[in-house]
Amino acid sequence: MRIITVLVILFSIYLNVSYPQLKGITSYDNAYRNYISGNFEEAIKNYNEYIRAYANDDKAIYERGMCFESLRKFDDALKDYTLALQMKPYYSAYNISRGYAYVKMGIPANAYDDFTKAIQNDPANSDGYFGRVNADLDLNKFDFALTDLNMAINLNQRNPLFYYVRAMIYTELNDTAKFYDDIEKILDNYPNDFFSNYKSQGVVLILDNIEYNINVLSNAIENYPDQFLLYFRRGFNYYIYRKFGPAADDFAQSIKYCPDPSTRMINLSNRLIENCKIYNDNR
The tens digit of pLDDT for each residue in 245-283 reads: 999 999 999 999 998 887 888 999 999 999 899 887 665
Residue 111 · residue 135 · CB < 8 Å: yes
Residue 147 is predicted with a pLDDT of 96
Rg (the chain; Cα; Å): 24
- Residue 218 covered by a domain: yes
Opening angle at CA 144, ends 242 and 201, nearest 5: 40
- Residue 209 covered by a domain: yes
Question: In 3D, which of 32, 24, 15 has the Cα closest to residue 49?
Answer: 24
Full residue range of the structural domain in which residue 266 is found: 158-283
Percent of the chain with pLDDT over 70: 84
Instruction: Mark the ranges of the chain whose per-residue pLDDT is less than 50.
Output: 6-11, 13-15, 17-19, 22, 198
Question: In 3D, which of 56, 95, 58, 53 has the Cα closest to residue 78?
Answer: 95
Residue 16 is predicted with a pLDDT of 53
Domain count, the chain: 1
Question: In 3D, which of 104, 220, 242 has the Cα closest to residue 233?
Answer: 220
CATH label of the domain that carries residue 224 = 1.25.40
- Residue 231 covered by a domain: yes
Residue 10 is predicted with a pLDDT of 44
DSSP label at 196? Answer: S
Residue 281 is predicted with a pLDDT of 66
- Residue 42 covered by a domain: no
- Residue 132 covered by a domain: no
Opening angle at CA 263, ends 260 and 266, nearest 5: 95
Q: How far is residue 221's CA from residue 227's CA, in Å, rounded to a whole number?
A: 7
- Residue 170 covered by a domain: yes
- Residue 53 covered by a domain: no
- Residue 129 covered by a domain: no
Residue 18 is predicted with a pLDDT of 45
DSSP label at 260? Answer: -
Residue 35 is predicted with a pLDDT of 87
Residue 17 is predicted with a pLDDT of 46
Q: Any alpha helices (H) in the chain, and if so which ranges?
A: 2-37, 40-53, 58-70, 74-87, 92-104, 108-121, 126-138, 142-155, 160-172, 176-187, 201-223, 228-240, 244-257, 264-282
Question: In 3D, which of 153, 142, 136, 138 has the Cα closest to residue 208?
Answer: 138
